Chains A and B, each alone.
Chain A
Amino acid sequence: MLDIKNLHVRLEDGDKPILKGVNLSVNAGEVHAIMGPNGSGKSTASYVLSGRDGYTVTEGSVTLGGENLLEMEPDERAAAGVFLAFQYPVEIPGVGNMTFLRTALNAQRRARGQDAVSAADFLRLMRDKAKMLEVGPDMLKRPVNVGFSGGEKKRNEILQMAILEPKLCILDETDSGLDVDAMKLVANGVNALRDAGRAFLVITHYQRLLNHIKPDVVHIMADGRIIRTGGPELALEVEHNGYGGLLTEDAG
């Protein structure tokens, strides 16, 4: 489903390269985890996939279901099925959570030539999904992410994901700032969305999230490249030995 080939990226202002030839293929139905130390380029990868400004692709290609993602606007990518669960979900004062989500859903549907969802249908859809993630009516009414706790923000991201039903879900350090209970809740939400037609890219520092969201493949990223790929056991190796050993191995 997702094919990244030899992706080189640098910051728009400045020559500093951040991704230095990333290769990655994720099939539908699979969950891939990307682990790596700070500054390895994990978050940059998520931004480049979703089309954030500020990065220049100097080489390589990214396709989703055969379509060239890099040529699309962020909203076109969203309509094509790319969803990014933000590491730091953004606050939008004065815009109700429900209004936001309904606007987003209908924008995507419009882009795909589908009819808009009526207010009543949307409400039903929302209620079902919100219940699973223990998102109360209060959180739905409040402005997007304003005054939400860390855990609430992350649950809200997963709620959005559940409603928008993307093809490719990118989770950027969704576990950061979560306690164990909140992490379980989020993981349950994600697991409920696992589906033969959907792919996941789970970006994380720590192995603990992967106890709850079991990956099929684990990649280790360092200095803008994927230096190791393996099964879930690779995550455990990192957990026990840290990144140190892997990094020296790479250098050697």
Chain B
Amino acid sequence: MANTKRARGLNKGKRMAVPDDIIVKQGVEEETVEAVRSLAGAYKHGWETEIETEYAPKGLNRDIVRLISDRNGEPEWMTDWRLSAFDRWQQMKEPDWAMVSYPAIDFQNQYYYARPKSMTARPKSLDEVDPKLLETYEKLGIPLKEQMILAGVEGTDGADPDRTPADGRKVAVDAVFDSVSVGTTFQAELKKAGVIFCSFSEAVREHPELVRKYLGTVVPVSDNFYATLNSAVFSDGSFVYVPPGVRCPMELSTYFRINAENTGQFERTLIIADKGSYVSYLEGCTAPRRDTAQLHAAVVEIIAEEDAEVKYSTVQNWYPGDENGKGGIYNFVTKRADCRGDRSRVMWTQVETGSAVTWKYPSCILRGAESQGEFYSIAIANNRQQADTGTKMVHLGRNSRSRIVSKGISAGHAQNTYRGLVSVHPRAANCRNYTQCDSLLIGDRCGAHTVPYIEVRNTSSRVEHEATTSRVDDDQLFYCRQRGMDEEEAVALVVNGFVKEVLQALPMEFALEAQQLVAISLEGSVG
């Protein structure tokens, strides 16, 4: 089932000429146009850190895979795992079903490992890290000092008597620069709570039993072309383990920065929330402005055991290329959560403004009974950006629930596709799904596409614009309807409000822009 809408025809009413003579469609609110335009051509993070970098030889073969493994000081089982992935990858073909086009990638003409020379000898603490690297993160607004940060946008006037330290919150950061983790903050404090938060390479060395138990169990080595590639060459990333019954005492986050030229970044994230635990995790990403496209192929695996809850938020702001589509990051990412235990719950939130090409479907396997998966996405594509993104909700457990809210906004010549799958298996009785996808076209040369797949293999499940999903409570619904809204409009209003709240709660400075985007109105959407 495909539902493709392209902007066509010009309305006679109010016209607003924009620099590249694209005509803004009628009915789109001016504020929205401004907000989206402010993102185009004004990439703030396009600067470069001048630093000495050492590269692995160009190209990809078994030796490069061994070299990466060796640089990370990995045990043999890890090296073998990578090598078997590499062998597999060589037999695989790049997927071509997404609604994106880009020149063929020459996988032999790029670097797979780049690390700042100053990181050759692993710094023991952040104090030993090259100041230039620390400056980089400071400039990006990422606190690598272990300090409270104040949530919210208000001025940080320390004299405000209403602001006690309790208002501030701590965010632990794992800072990944090209192929290596520069450092991870608050590790000691987290350890006291039993939480392990470290770079992936450290986890392989320090907690091999956990890595072996869970790695590749959500995204198998052979899952897809890019995931397999990642399995072979991933260099670093973050690892999280939250023990049973522990509520992680602070937000965790990883900030990915690509700096080196002509280099791919392949990171691996593994998050394990053991029984009854809770963790909220935020990921941010940026890269310098360059004329050549760069590949970023990450894999994120989340395991939620019984009664565990994981919130995973992404503010994706990779360099999107210039207005003519030159350069930018190819973001080909596999993210998946396994809601393994009963009543487990995973929430994906993503704000996508960057990347030249995005191919990404954060998904949930709802294995546990009464497990819950949520996906909230705002994707804004400007200029020549292409985004093909969405989610898969695979209902295996009975009474499992999922909710999908996706907003795609396209401007300039951009193409934005929502691609989603809701699949309910025969034994997954009484499942519920609520899906809401909106697209907004600003201008007459962009495209919005919606490709929802729905497979329901039992009769007791409901997949629809569902009004009785957990958070839209009957009181809210009745209140809206008493004021005149029909059921569908009422649900949409309440759900949108909820999503806005979710996004506004994103911690960290770099998420502030994302919060402002949420204010964007989708008035004039094409549905």
Contact = CB atoms under 8 A, between A and B. Distances in A.
B485 A90 contact: no
A152 interface: no
B475 A90 contact: yes
A107 B482 CA distance: 11
Interface in B432-487: 474-476, 478-487
B483 A78 contact: yes
A84 B482 contact: yes
B501 A53 contact: no
Given A103-B485, A103-B489, A94 B501 contact: yes
Given A90-B479, A92-B476, A75 B493 contact: no
A44 interface: no
Contacts of A103: 485, 489, 493
A104 B494 CA distance: 13
Nearest to B471: A93
Given A82-B482, A83-B482, A107-B483, 11 more contacts: A75-B481, A75-B482, A75-B485, A78-B484, A86-B482, A93-B501, A95-B496, A95-B500, A103-B489, A104-B483, A119-B29
Interface in B100-138: none
Contacts of A75: 481-482, 484-487, 490
Given A94-B498, A95-B496, A107-B489, A164 B474 contact: no
Contacts of A180: none
Contacts of A111: 484
A52 B29 CA distance: 35
Contacts, number: 85
The CB with the most chain A CB atoms within 10 A, among B480, B483, B499, is that of B483
A13 B365 CA distance: 36
A93 B484 contact: no
Contacts of A99: 493
B497 interface: yes
A143 B497 contact: yes
7 contacts: A73-B481, A74-B481, A78-B481, A93-B497, A94-B496, A164-B483, A164-B484
Interface in A193-248: none
Contacts of A50: 482
Contacts of B483: 78, 100-101, 104, 107-108, 160, 164
Interface in A150-179: 160, 164
Q: Which of A53, A75, A108, A164 has the most chain B CB atoms inside 10 A of its CB?
A: A75
Contacts of A139: none
Nearest to B497: A94
A84 to B, nearest CB: 5
B260 to A, nearest CB: 40
A78 to B, nearest CB: 4
Interface in A79-129: 79, 82-84, 86, 89-95, 99-101, 103-105, 107-108, 111, 119
Contacts of A93: 497-498, 501
Interface of A: 50-53, 73-75, 77-79, 82-84, 86, 89-95, 99-101, 103-105, 107-108, 111, 119, 143, 160, 164
Given A90-B476, A103-B489, A95 B482 contact: no
A91 B480 CA distance: 11
Contacts of A83: 482
Closest 4 CB pairs of A and B: A94-B497, A95-B497, A104-B483, A108-B484
Interface string B150-187: 00000000000000000000000000000000000000
B478 A74 contact: yes
B477 to A, nearest CB: 9
Contacts of B498: 93-94
Contacts of A107: 483-486, 489
A105 to B, nearest CB: 7
Contacts of B480: 92, 100, 104
A77 B476 CA distance: 17
Given A100-B493, A103-B493, A107-B489, A74 B482 contact: yes
A95 to B, nearest CB: 4
A104 B484 contact: yes
A160 to B, nearest CB: 7
Contacts of B478: 52-53, 74, 90
B474 A53 contact: yes
A67 to B, nearest CB: 16
Nearest to B489: A107
Contacts of B481: 51, 73-75, 78
Contacts of B486: 73, 75, 107
Contacts of B493: 92, 95, 99-100, 103
A190 B278 CA distance: 48
Given A53-B474, A103-B489, A92 B479 contact: yes
A247 to B, nearest CB: 32
A94 B500 contact: yes
Nearest to B29: A119
A56 B432 CA distance: 27
A182 to B, nearest CB: 21
A86 B483 CA distance: 11
A97 to B, nearest CB: 11
Contacts of A79: 484
Nearest to A88: B475
Interface in B336-354: none
Contacts of B496: 94-95
A107 B481 CA distance: 10
B180 to A, nearest CB: 39
Contacts of B497: 92-95, 143
A111 B484 CA distance: 8
Given A52-B478, A53-B474, A74-B478, A92 B485 contact: no
